[in-house]
Amino acid sequence: MPTDAELKPIVPMMGAEGGFEEDESVPPLRISGFLCLLFGLLSALGIIGYPMLVTAVIAIAFGLVALRPWDKQKPVGVTPARIGLVMAVAFGSCGFLVHTLKTRTLANQAEYFARQYLDVIANGEFAIAMELKKEPVNRLPLHMPLMDHYQSSEENMQSLTEFEADGINQQLVDAGPGVPWELGEPVRVFQYYGMQQAELLFLNPNPNQEPKKIYMLMKYDIDPEGVGQWRVDQCRPYMKRLVAESVL
């Protein structure tokens, strides 16, 4: 007849995480350690997409649970938890750094492009400004005379005339080029339906000159050569948005 010692399990028993009583002769099993390793591997996706950085946070949470102090034998799952924690911290930090640098670079590019656009209009180069509002694929070639193109048809000339007569454009012309526009708030870079966009608020340092505040919405498009370029989607006087409290 087999003895009690022969009937003891030869594999790690479930510990408190599994809801079973522990046997002092075998190390307990901490499933959280293996979950930490799994999410630590998935945290590599954080380099691809910013929302995937949540996998690194989940891995760290499971790792801290798995590495809680133990009294007797070292639980099974501690080593995978340590490996998962290292991977989560490494991939999470790398992904966060990559996205932070990318956001900062896009914000600087959007601000530079927006300032150039304001100067173009202030100089009265409305044909160039209209090209800067188009998607890169629809812009005219560099060697093509813009005014000849717009004067070639009544429809194109009407579009240019309406753009020139726009109130904000006339105010920019009256203000003249070289206005040292100040950012009213940090450039906000975000994604909307998978498209990279940026919001900018410019303040005129001269309080007696119009326009005082300009709101600009920029969109980031990829041209036929695979190069990303900003374009101006909106350029208008800044207006405070209504919220439910102010409406009611």
**pLDDT for residue 46:** 85
Domain 105-247 class, CATH top level: alpha beta
User: How far, in Å, CA of 214 to CA of 234, rounded?
Assistant: 10
DSSP annotation of 134 reads S
CA distance 209 to 172: 10
Which residue stretches of the chain have pLDDT < 70?
1-25, 241-248
- The region, left, alpha or beta by phi > 0 then psi within -120 to 50, assigned to residue 101 is alpha
pLDDT at 243: 56
Which pLDDT belongs to residue 24? 63
User: HSE (CB half, 13 Å, CA atoms) of 144?
Assistant: 12
Identify the CA nearest to 59 among candidates 79, 78, 85: 85
pLDDT tens digits along 77-121: 899 999 999 999 999 999 899 888 989 999 999 999 999 999 999
Confidence (pLDDT) at 79: 92
- Please report the pLDDT score of residue 152 as a whole number: 81
Give the pLDDT confidence score for residue 17 in this predicted structure: 58
Q: What is the pLDDT of residue 232?
A: 92
The domains of the chain are located at 9-99, 105-247
Given this model, what pLDDT does residue 183 score?
A: 93
Helix 167-175 × helix 78-122 angle, to 10°: 80
pLDDT at 150: 80
Give the closest residue to 65 by CA, choosing from 53, 81, 79, 76: 81
